[in-house]
Chains A and B, each alone.
Chain A
Amino acid sequence: MAVLMDSTLPTRRRPLGTLIGIAVIIAAGIIGYFLFPNNLALLTRIVATMLLVLSIDLVTGYCGVATLGHAALFGAGAYGAGIVSAHFGITEPLTMTLIGAAAGAVAGLVSGLVILRAHGLPQLVLSIAVVHLFHEVANKASGWTGGSDGLSGITTDALLGLFEFDLWGRTAYFYGIALLLIVFVLLRILVQSPFGMLARGVREDPIRVAAMGASVHSVMLRMYVISGAVAGIGGALNAISTQVVGLDSLSFTMSAEALVMLVLGGTGSLYGAMVGTVSFMWFEDVVSAANPFHWLTIVGALLIVVVLFAPKGLYGSAAAFLSRRRGGGK
């Protein structure tokens, strides 16, 4: 294990890193609230997507599994939370979130069992097939999911009995930020735990990990389940804040976008996932408002520029640049 740790990880200053992360998230949350008080719905959507992108980072950045089908887990969480509210009358938001996480974890187990059977391109194709299967099943089971009309009739109680989910989405927004903080701290602990190290080892060299006696498949599958729970929380947050779940939350589109956001920010650091999500969604919002005809061209050009000039993603390249500067300054 020690061998695997040496190059990629700064072993010191880890608690500090987490603290900085917490501070940045809180600060960004407050700034966002005051800068865009009329656009909290968008900000909440960004937070929910961030949870999805973080969950992809767990399997892609830490285990090296390329997936274009992660929205299946997000959508499972959204439908899980939505269905218990709309059909079973469980409207307590915390319970809904937990059920969303559980649904996401189960979806993670199922899709993990399928996707992890192959590597490389076939794996990518399997993940695409899985998200399409989920999509078709949700479409067909319209009695439960509302089909292509979307699942409506989701109601939520006041959060902790105190805060009603209001029309402006303030409660949903702060609930989202709180969830993001909790998930972020838990994931930091997770990726720095021995299990997280093992996962990195699997990404670096699966054969070596297998030779050391660890089961590569079981590590990846466990990570997939955890990732499913995180994505499920994101989906549940989306269901709670918008009170509707559409088929698009299970779509290939959503998966592809989320992967693009992750790679844009940089894989394998958690921060990259968050930076990528905010940049992409903010950029998309601004550009599509400024020029609805050309926004896709500009987003495409941005992606090409990032690949050419910041191959490790925005956060990854910035971090590498800073550490190089620091190294040079010594």
Chain B
Amino acid sequence: MSPKGDRGGDATVRRMDRTQHLRQKPPSALPGISPSRGEIGSRHRIKPHHKDVHPRMQTVLSIAIDALAYGMVLFVISIGLSVTMGLMRVVNLAHGAFAMIGGYLASYVTRDLGLGYAPAILIAVIATAIIAVPIERLLYRRIYGAPELTQVLMTIGITFCVIGLANYAFGPTLKTIPLPETLSGSIDLGFRAIATHRIFAIVCGVVVAFGLWFLIERTAFGIRLRAAVDNAPMAAALGVRTQLVYAVSFAVAVGLAAFGGVVGAELLPVEPYYALRYMVTFLVAVSIGGAGSIPGALIACLLLGAIDTTGRYLAPEYGEFFFYLAVIVIVTLFPRGLAGRFK
């Protein structure tokens, strides 16, 4: 299954989505989220170039690298959600929408403005964070502390709006973000060629994990953030400007989502229903990791990436059966997440 062919198939699916959309009565308000979160695993297979290594070994390596890359992308996107959920106790179903906005902006910058990949990432992250700040002030601030159901309704509403606007502004087709020369090739390890982009995604995940760890454990802002997570009223009483902490961490979270959306565009392709299609995956990752915990989120994302990718390689006909079975088992065993502070 070549990546190209897959992409083409995907585009037709999207196009069908579109016609479905244009019909007078849509069959449902959220067409296309559920079944086809689908094709991730199969898309990022790499053809083995070196036949001298045992084929089973090749498969194991392919699975390992794809799982690691997928898990890292998942981590970069969901860690922001984890922080906002742990900090503000908001079930933010719109997080995927911000990742999608990032992806769209990067696609626009590279393809229409003709800028490079690095400036595209930068612009996408900053612009998405700028978009998010007024949304936080105007909408999110009103649902802090509200019942979960209200938060779900509000954030689903935001997601719908973003999907509709993205559909209007960029059209229903799949958007690609062209990779620069240095990332589009593959690195030869002697026994195995690995797509450079996978390595880039893995490195990004590691950098984000260390950066966040440093920010939260080693800086004054991190101390305030942790204080606000543990006990917001007490932190406020001690002079921490919790509102500012909320706003900044929201912006950081959204920026990370946008970053993940751009870096992961090869694995999670950017299209209007991105926001709903992967939302469940992000939510699952945060829940399993335990909201507010970086190591928890990292372990959860790598675990989920491994389960999902392995399932897709070895038993593709079962779809996501094993993924969700694993989710049920893990949540049952660790109801508070692998390292959770979530109550």
Contact = CB atoms under 8 A, between A and B. Distances in A.
A66 interface: yes
Contacts of A297: 160-161, 163-165, 168
Contacts of B327: 125-126, 129
A280 B143 CA distance: 22
Interface stretch (A21-29, A170-178, A249-257): A249-257
A70 interface: no
Nearest to A301: B161
Given A122-B337, A125-B327, A136-B321, A284 B26 contact: yes
B228 to A, nearest CB: 19
Contacts of A257: 28-30
A135 B164 contact: no
B287 A125 contact: yes
A298 interface: yes
B324 interface: yes
A121 B30 contact: no
A263 to B, nearest CB: 5
Interface residues of A, number: 60
A121 to B, nearest CB: 5
Interface stretch (A157-165, A181-189, A223-231, A303-311): A303-311
Given A296-B167, A300-B164, A303-B153, A140 B34 contact: no
**Which secondary structure dominates where chain A touches chain B?**
helix
A172 B76 CA distance: 50
A89 B200 CA distance: 58
A299 B150 contact: no
Contact of B319 (A120, A136, A300): A136
Given A136-B321, A292-B21, A253 B28 contact: yes
Given A136-B319, A257-B28, A300-B161, A292 B22 contact: yes
Nearest to B284: A125
Interface stretch (A7-15, A111-119, A194-202): A111-119
B83 interface: no
Contacts of A298: 164
Contacts of B142: 307-308
B317 A311 contact: no
Contacts of B158: 300, 304
Contact of B160 (A132, A247, A259, A299): A299
Nearest to B291: A121
A39 to B, nearest CB: 10
A66 B152 contact: yes
Contacts of B21: 292
B337 A248 contact: no
B154 interface: yes
A133 B328 contact: yes
B162 to A, nearest CB: 8
Nearest to B336: A122
Given A125-B327, A140-B321, A300 B160 contact: yes
A97 interface: no
A247 B343 CA distance: 35
Contacts of A122: 287, 331, 335-337, 342
Contacts of A307: 142-143, 150, 153-154, 157
Given A114-B328, A117-B332, A128 B321 contact: no
B159 interface: yes
B26 A303 contact: no
Contacts of A121: 85, 91, 148, 283, 286-287, 291, 342
Given A66-B148, A140-B318, A289 B291 contact: no
B163 to A, nearest CB: 5
A122 to B, nearest CB: 5
B336 A256 contact: no
A139 interface: yes
Nearest to A131: B34
A297 B85 CA distance: 25
Nearest to B325: A133
A119 B331 CA distance: 10
A263 B152 contact: yes
A296 B29 contact: yes
B23 interface: yes
Contacts of A4: none
Nearest to B32: A253
Given A136-B324, A285-B25, A300-B164, A129 B31 contact: no
A130 interface: yes
A142 to B, nearest CB: 10
Given A118-B332, A122-B335, A139 B156 contact: no
B149 A267 contact: yes
A295 interface: yes
B229 to A, nearest CB: 15
B335 A119 contact: yes
B288 to A, nearest CB: 8
Give me the 9 closest cross-chain CB pairs, A-B, nearest first: A300-B160, A297-B164, A303-B157, A300-B161, A296-B164, A136-B321, A125-B287, A129-B324, A304-B157
6 contacts: A137-B321, A263-B149, A288-B26, A293-B167, A306-B153, A311-B146
